[in-house]
A and B are shown apart, each in its own frame.
Chain A
Amino acid sequence: MSNLVAYPVLLCFGTGILQLLLHKRVVLQRALALLSSMAGIVLSVLLTYTIWTSGIQVQTAGGWPVPFGITLTADLFSGLMMILAAVVLFTSVLYIFKDMDAASERTFFYPVLFFMMAGVNLSFATGDIFNLYVAFEVMLISSYFLMALGSKGPQLREGLKYLLLNTVASSIFLVAVALLYGVTSSLNMADIAAKAAMDPGNPYITLAGMLFMVVFAAKGALFPFYWWLPRSYYYVPNGIAPLFASMLTKVGVYGLIRVFTLIFVHDSGLTHSLLLVIGGLTMLLGVIGAISQYDFKAILSYHIISQIGYMIMGLGLYTVLGLAGAVYYIAHHIIVKSGLFLLSGATSRITGNTDFKHYSGLLASHPGLAFTFFATAISLAGVPPFSGFFAKFALLKAAVEKGAWGIAAVSLVVSFFTLFSMIKIFRKAYWGRPSGQRIQRDRKDYIAALSPAVILLALSVAMGLGGGYMMEFALATADQLMNPAIYIEAVMGR
């Protein structure tokens, strides 16, 4: 029994409630947000360290015996995701202080932000399939609010489409849960996995697996359900765009990896080959979308899709090295992608716009911004010594070892186009004749807006230089994921 699993969730939830009570005192809300996001990093690191030293942490809510009550279960993968969520929240909060408009800050922005993070953390912590649905909904309903915050026309329009898509996807989620419950009469993921292992050929379980694939593909923006992402993320306010871009779709990816390494592992010839194809198409179509765009934020939005393809590639390969590569890639992507979105925000603070038509040549006046972007961008493309190189290297090695030459080739081509479109941003926005720098801001303001992105870049460099340690951690995580018996034993054998 360890209550540590619940603390990151409770921290975010408690902060949200306190901020709700203080909704007229913006300064106090800001202080709470900063303190809570720092405490979140400490708690999630502590949790992951505990999992590293003494195994998977399980908490049963209300002390009910295991298959009946709700269990919270955190393995290394959950712990890592919670750390990443806390780090991105912390840097986003730093940037939000600079960038959020005052009217939004007064209209319940901070409480809803923390409720969303409570949902995100709960979906990483939960060991119960229905509780996962609830966590998703807590996260989603907060994200609808944040997406529409400010009530500009396009935000409402794209927010409505995002909401409708997710409502339908959530209904399919419930259908899949109902099917699983009907077959196994259990909601506990470890219990379901144990029962599925006793009856490996059951067609209803495979059907539920396929439904889960559709659900998480829709929420994680995978082929063929990725079309909603570029439009809706484009209109998310700059301050929260990093959180949306790096965390929300990754919760879908987390769900996919969780259920397809724990429950639906008995028909991997069908399901995991399908995932491999989906991963390849996702990365290819995402990057093709990206190279067709001429807007900073739009290119980045399309790149989210193509990079989710890499993570699914690791899951589809379904080897220890492949999953380790996927875990490494998720960590790398969350850090670097939030950094890039923060930089796009910092750039549009100078130019008032993200469209390349309206500005160029920021290198002359803002060299710090330009070079931070350059370093983060080549990290995304996978140039050593940044974190992207090692993540892609592990994935590629796993693909070659498995003899999956098709996906290996696709991932290399996509990597090249990623570099191409990152260079395009650099060339259009930072090179050339200086123009379009409409908004004059003082130096202090500029540094404050840039520093969160510099923190994330430093983390990416650290994850690259400490690649050995990071890979060791990723391999241990993948080892746990590949052996569902460890997870089942930790939950059921109590």
Chain B
Amino acid sequence: MELLAALLIGLLLGVGTYLLLERNMIRIVLGTMLITYGTNLMLLTSGRLKTGRAPLLGGSDIQTAAEGGGGIVVDGISYVDPVPQALILTAIVIGLATTAFSFVLAYRTVQEYGTDDLLELRGVEHE
């Protein structure tokens, strides 16, 4: 399962990097999106995939919880590590805001210069 996830992460990062090297602005922004997805998946995989039950613990369970095997163990039953999921949630929100802003910025740049080809947007020194 982890191998499959690793291959998928590799694919996402690879396609994202390929798009980054394009000259078309929208493809570059889409490339950063794919790279962001790849890293989110990597965060998920860092906590190991499906090592036990959903991590819903009661008040007294927390006292006896212990770390083990990439998750949490309570009374011999293992639960999934919830931390990476919390991290991804934060990363997704940040990724959303950044992507939205970059689309707006790209759109305004195209409006201003009339082109979305980054080779033409190199700019001369200090106009």
Contacts and interface: CB of A to CB of B under 8 A. Distances in A.
B42 A178 contact: yes
Interface residues of A, number: 36
A112 interface: no
Interface in B80-94: 81, 83-84, 87, 90-91, 94
A295 B126 contact: yes
Interface string B44-62: 0111000000000000000
Interface in A147-181: 148, 151, 153-154, 156-160, 163-164, 167-168, 170-172, 174-175, 177-179, 181
Contact of B25 (A160, A175, A179, A295): A160
Contacts of B106: 160
Contacts of A295: 126
Given A137-B94, A167-B36, A178 B46 contact: yes
Nearest to B40: A174
A134 B90 CA distance: 8
B15 interface: no
Interface in B96-127: 97-98, 101-102, 105-106, 108-109, 112-113, 121, 123, 125-127
Contacts of B35: 167-168, 171
Nearest to A136: B94
Contact of B36 (A171, A177, A187): A171
Contact of A153 (B29, B32, B94, B113): B113
Residues of A contacting B: mostly: helix
A118 to B, nearest CB: 15
A144 interface: yes
A168 B113 CA distance: 24
B30 to A, nearest CB: 11
Interface string A185-200: 1010000000000000
A159 B101 CA distance: 11
Residues of B contacting A: mostly: helix
Contact of B39 (A134, A156, A178, A182): A178
Given A164-B102, A177-B43, A182-B46, A231 B123 contact: yes
Contact of A159 (B67, B84, B105, B126): B105
Contacts of B126: 234, 295, 298, 355
A130 interface: yes
B46 A179 contact: yes
Contacts of B97: 141
B14 interface: no
A141 B28 CA distance: 18
A182 B2 CA distance: 12
B29 A164 contact: yes
Contacts of A187: 83, 87
Given A144-B105, A157-B123, A234-B126, A175 B98 contact: no
B83 A156 contact: no
B102 A163 contact: yes
A157 B81 CA distance: 42
Closest 7 pairs (CB-CB, A-B): A182-B46, A178-B46, A174-B39, A156-B109, A153-B112, A171-B39, A167-B32
10 contacts: A134-B94, A144-B101, A156-B109, A157-B109, A160-B102, A167-B36, A168-B20, A168-B32, A174-B40, A178-B43
Given A171-B36, A181-B84, 5 more contacts: A159-B105, A163-B98, A172-B39, A178-B42, A178-B46
Interface of A: 130, 134, 137, 141, 144-145, 148, 151, 153-154, 156-160, 163-164, 167-168, 170-172, 174-175, 177-179, 181-182, 185, 187, 231, 234, 295, 298, 355
